[in-house]
Chain A
């Protein structure tokens, strides 16, 4: 094992420790987060952490097998965030800004 290989392993190992701590913190926010939007933002970061893990795996083991998985994951986070922001989170809050076309039905202005 050459010194360069050892140095690469040490650097990626430090990165892996950082990723474990980061994943724990995002999962904590997903469990705690008051609204579903907090959870979806935390889920986006968790997807980024998983992508970073796959990249570290590709470097350590010197293969390109995980690259298609990284590609799929980078699109998955987008689909989840858009669908939750557009269709789920809009209906679970009380106060909202309304445009002039949608006045309240009971005539309160």
Chain B
């Protein structure tokens, strides 16, 4: 325990960063399993996709210490930062448009207000003739 060289310190730092990234993955998976609807599950899922991946890339780079891996890891982090908001936006848009939001858990729903003000309307269920709307609601919110 006398002298830690710079390489030792960097190895420990890299392992700690990767451990933090793994913990973010674990926290996100816990949220995925426990949260009540798709929107809140998306909230949990975005943590390892951006911050967790950046922590992992930093940990690998600090541990490997080569310029070739630096380029690849910067590319990984940049691509993830560019694509994660797009996919999250599309998933959230589809969630809201197909009405899979738990409205009873919302305090405010500004988007519904704005959509109604802009002339949008909540369309009728296409299979209203086949089954009652209440069972459809139960199936959707369960």
Contacts and interface: CB of A to CB of B under 8 A. Distances in A.
B119 to A, nearest CB: 4
A12 B94 contact: no
Interface in A43-102: 44-45, 48-49, 51-52, 55-56, 58-59, 62, 64, 67-68, 70-71, 74-75, 77-78, 81-82, 85-86, 89-90, 92-100
Interface string B86-100: 111011011111111
Interface in A6-44: 7-8, 11-12, 14-16, 18-19, 21-26, 28-29, 34-35, 37-38, 40-42, 44
Instruction: Say whether chain B's binding surface is mostly helix, strand, loop, or mixed.
Output: helix
A1 interface: no
A49 B11 contact: no
Contacts of A23: 29
**Of B22, B86, B88, B100, most A-chain CB atoms within 10 Å:** B22
A75 B12 contact: no
A41 B117 CA distance: 31
Contacts of B110: none
Contacts of B125: 94-95
Contacts of A34: 139-140, 142
Interface residues of B, number: 74
- Interface size band for A: 35 or more
B66 interface: yes
A82 to B, nearest CB: 5
B25 A22 contact: yes
Given A48-B28, A96-B98, A41 B56 contact: no
Listed from nearest, the 8 A-B pairs whose CB atoms lie closest are A15-B22, A22-B29, A93-B98, A81-B87, A94-B125, A78-B83, A25-B29, A18-B26
Interface of A: 2-5, 7-8, 11-12, 14-16, 18-19, 21-26, 28-29, 34-35, 37-38, 40-42, 44-45, 48-49, 51-52, 55-56, 58-59, 62, 64, 67-68, 70-71, 74-75, 77-78, 81-82, 85-86, 89-90, 92-100, 104, 108-109
Contacts of A28: 33
Contacts of B142: 34
A96 B99 contact: yes
A95 to B, nearest CB: 4
Given A4-B4, A25-B32, A52 B22 contact: yes
